[in-house]
Chain A
Amino acid sequence: MKLTTTLLAGAAALCLASFANSAAADGHGPSCGLNTGEAATGEPIKVGGINGNAPPGDFSGGTDAAAAYFDCVNANGGINGRPIEYIVENDQWNPELAGQVAAKLVNDDGVVALVGNGSVVSMAVNANLYEEEDVMVMASGCAISECYESSNIVSTNQGPLPSGIGALTYAVEELGTKNAACIGFNIPNNGGWACDWMEDYMSSQGLTGTSILMDPTAVDLNSVYLQALSEGADTILLMLPAGPAIGLLKVAEEQGGRDLFKWVSPTPLYEPGVADVLGDYWNDNLYIHIELAPFDSDGADNQNWAAVVEAFGQDGDRRDTFSQSGYISAKFFVEALLELDTDSIDRATVSDAIRAINGAESDLLCAPYYVGDADRHMPNSTGRMVAYTGSAFEVVRDCFAIESSYFEPIRAQEAALGITQ
């Protein structure tokens, strides 16, 4: 799928602008960029985005929300009069395709940066390209180590490692977990990476952690569940995308396994439609760590995110954590660009402007966002816990920083930049 959002002066832009204005009039309208209500007509600024939308997961929420926000910015004065031309590519979870579309965006299209990226394979394949070409990637939906251990990628979402350990922290402190089983995909820089650090966390607490890694191409949830039973774990950490995590909960439900374990999960299970699938069986027995504000939060940025995707998003766009994350990436990106001299916007100045982001605040995040000039970036490692109650998710612990020896270099960066999580 290719989505090219080129803002052309004319009827379409006028329609959007008038729609945005009418939405703004009732007090819930989106607020974007300069917020002038005038469509930008200058020379477009090319920005790229890569998502992975094919089995086994749809990671397009980040680019969908970024596209909506950029459309909103373009209808509201753009970047000091210049619209953003947002070019989105889908890597379809295919490493070769991921390399190809990144080369197209970075070398052929000459984008100044990539924003809203949500993909597993693309980051692994292209981290070197981004570094060589010194193009910054403000990602939104990452789940592998390269997203957090590369100089040119900074992701707003946490990925499985912090969110999983956050969930486990709650389980250890509130639910009495002693022996946790981390169930993930056998992908070295994804499930393997996150579950390894989860084991490290458990042993640092004097507790036991085991990893149960499964083949992502031949998922057998029954055997995984039985393996968890045989390991003698008292807690299951679902280090999985939403689909397989729900599948595993269904297996446990069929076998009456709810009370045999305590059930915790990182963010992916926090989805608007999950209650329709899970029903009431799991009420008050499933705890999820969420890395951004709840969907129904009253915060100004959360409300604005909802208004932007409502007014400028497409019908099929996902309204999930990745979407919130894409909105934040796009918003901070636009704020950085607005600081630049309009005529001097090129890849070098944009990369520098992104690295200069420090202490950016949003009610969607628990702590300030930053980038800095470093060999790794993880600006979001604080989150909340919610309990699944069937009809809704109830916040059971508000913002707390996640602790693990993994974060030592990140905390050092934060100290140098004057940021406290």
Chain B
Amino acid sequence: MPRSQITPLAILLIGVLILPLILSSLWVKVVTSAAIFALGAAGISVLFAQLGLINLAQIALIGVGGWVALRLNYATPLPFTVIVVIAGVATAFVGAILALPALRMRGLYLALVTLMAAGAFQILFNAFQFPNGGEGFWGVARQSAADIRRPSVAQSDVGYLRYTLVIMAAGFGLVALHRITGPGRAWAMIRQSEANAMAAGINVTFYKIWAFALSGLLAGIAGALLSGALGQLDARSFLASEGILLFALAVVGGAYSWVGAIIAGVLYKLLPALLNDWGLSADLALILFGAALLHAIMTAPRGIAGQLLGALQRKPS
């Protein structure tokens, strides 16, 4: 097995086996959140690293996944894992619809379109709220939220952390698989030149939509996992501004490697919790994120992950 595959597997094994043993209840919850948003950040990275496309609506898509998962949880007796998969696929379709403007735009204009979409979802979430066990299509009752089923192997918070880490790793694996197979090669050509890609017989429309769908799939799975982790979702968690933040952190972490997605998840969820635990305001994290983004733009175009991996690769020689 090549080293590039052994390292992630070893890290996953350590994460699944060791992390739950050494973390206290607080940090089990924090690391679960960080893993969930790392999966969401991986979706941003797919679009940014493979196609140079900016998607600021990833948090909105995570919200869509969460909405679908909650709706299915209350409306059907399906097992949680099946719900996670369906939420992922449904969100992939929504992601594919988002791709339609991307067929004609890129750069700033596409970013603005995705930001508008995120704003639209923010309004929808606020107007219709997340299902809490009520009747009807929207499933919102003016009452306390009903229970969420978790998978039988992940009833406890520790079990749920393991479950989340395994699904996160599977998500990263899916992205890696795309990179080294047909879609990855097609995306690389499209990124170089759409005209050349078309001339080479690549269906540019299809592969762009495919990339957005993959990004949406990861967001949807993350949203479903989040609903299981928290037991309910709140419209205030899915603001358009959070989408900008997660994109910025995906760039800071490094969009070209799964390590970057993990760094993004850690920065997004672990750093504020750490500051809070030290008795400092979690909002301080925003200042640190700003500094980190400047650092990434000026000195580390491949993000913190790029710097780390670069340092590791230089060491043996």
User: With the chains together, A379 CA to B151 CA distance in Å?
Assistant: 37
Interface check B94, CB cutoff 8 A: no
Interface residue from B33, B127, B141, B229 paired with A186 (Cβ < 8 Å)? B127
B residues less than 8 Å from A94 (CB atoms): 237, 282
Q: Are A100 and B26 in touch, CB under 8 angstroms?
A: yes
Q: Are B140 and A217 in touch, CB under 8 angstroms?
A: no
Min CB distance, A232 to chain B, in Å? 23
Interface check B203, CB cutoff 8 A: no
User: With the chains together, A149 CA to B235 CA distance in Å?
Assistant: 22
Interface check A297, CB cutoff 8 A: no
User: With the chains together, A96 CA to B269 CA distance in Å?
Assistant: 9
Could you say which of B81-89, B142-150, B179-187 contacts chain A?
A: B142-150
The size class of the interface chain B forms with chain A is 35 or more
Interface check A115, CB cutoff 8 A: no
**CB closest chain-B residue, reference A147:** B144
Q: Are A97 and B282 in touch, CB under 8 angstroms?
A: yes
B residues less than 8 Å from A104 (CB atoms): 24-26, 277
Within 8 A of B (CB), among A232-275: none
Encoded as 1 (CB less than 8 Å from any B CB) or 0, chain A from 135 to 151 comes to 00000000011100110
Interface check A399, CB cutoff 8 A: no
Interface check B234, CB cutoff 8 A: yes
Interface residue from A107, A188, A195, A218 paired with B24 (Cβ < 8 Å)? A107
User: With the chains together, A184 CA to B147 CA distance in Å?
Assistant: 25
**CB closest chain-A residue, reference B122:** A217
Q: Are B24 and A149 in touch, CB under 8 angstroms?
A: no
Interface check B193, CB cutoff 8 A: no
Within 8 A of B (CB), among A88-120: 90, 92-97, 99-101, 103-104, 106-108
**CB closest chain-B residue, reference A216:** B236
A residues less than 8 Å from B273 (CB atoms): 97, 100
Q: Are B126 and A217 in touch, CB under 8 angstroms?
A: yes
A residues less than 8 Å from B281 (CB atoms): 1
Q: Are A189 and B132 in touch, CB under 8 angstroms?
A: yes
Once A100-B29, A189-B142, A192-B142 are accepted as A-B contacts, the answer to whether A93 and B24 lie under 8 Å apart by CB is: no
User: With the chains together, A127 CA to B277 CA distance in Å?
Assistant: 22
Min CB distance, B81 to chain A, in Å? 21
Interface check A357, CB cutoff 8 A: no
Once A100-B30, A124-B145 are accepted as A-B contacts, the answer to whether A217 and B230 lie under 8 Å apart by CB is: no
Within 8 A of A (CB), among B228-253: 229-237, 239
Interface check A223, CB cutoff 8 A: no
Min CB distance, A59 to chain B, in Å? 15
Interface centre among B142, B157, B239 (most CB of A within 10 A): B142
Within 8 A of B (CB), among A283-329: none
Q: Are A108 and B24 in touch, CB under 8 angstroms?
A: yes
Once A96-B33, A96-B230, A97-B276 are accepted as A-B contacts, the answer to whether A193 and B24 lie under 8 Å apart by CB is: no
Min CB distance, B140 to chain A, in Å? 5
User: With the chains together, A334 CA to B26 CA distance in Å?
Assistant: 27
Q: Are B144 and A125 in touch, CB under 8 angstroms?
A: no
Instruction: Provide a sorted-by-A list of 23 A–B residue pairs whose CB atoms are within 8 angstroms.
Output: A1-B281, A2-B279, A90-B276, A93-B236, A94-B237, A96-B33, A97-B276, A99-B29, A99-B229, A99-B230, A121-B234, A124-B145, A145-B144, A146-B144, A150-B144, A186-B127, A188-B143, A189-B132, A189-B144, A192-B142, A193-B142, A193-B143, A216-B236
7 closest Cβ contacts across the A-B interface?
Answer: A107-B25, A104-B26, A192-B142, A103-B25, A2-B279, A108-B24, A196-B142
Given contacts A124-B144, A186-B126, 13 further A-B pairs with CB under 8 A are A93-B236, A95-B232, A95-B233, A99-B29, A100-B273, A103-B29, A108-B26, A146-B144, A188-B142, A189-B132, A189-B145, A193-B143, A217-B122
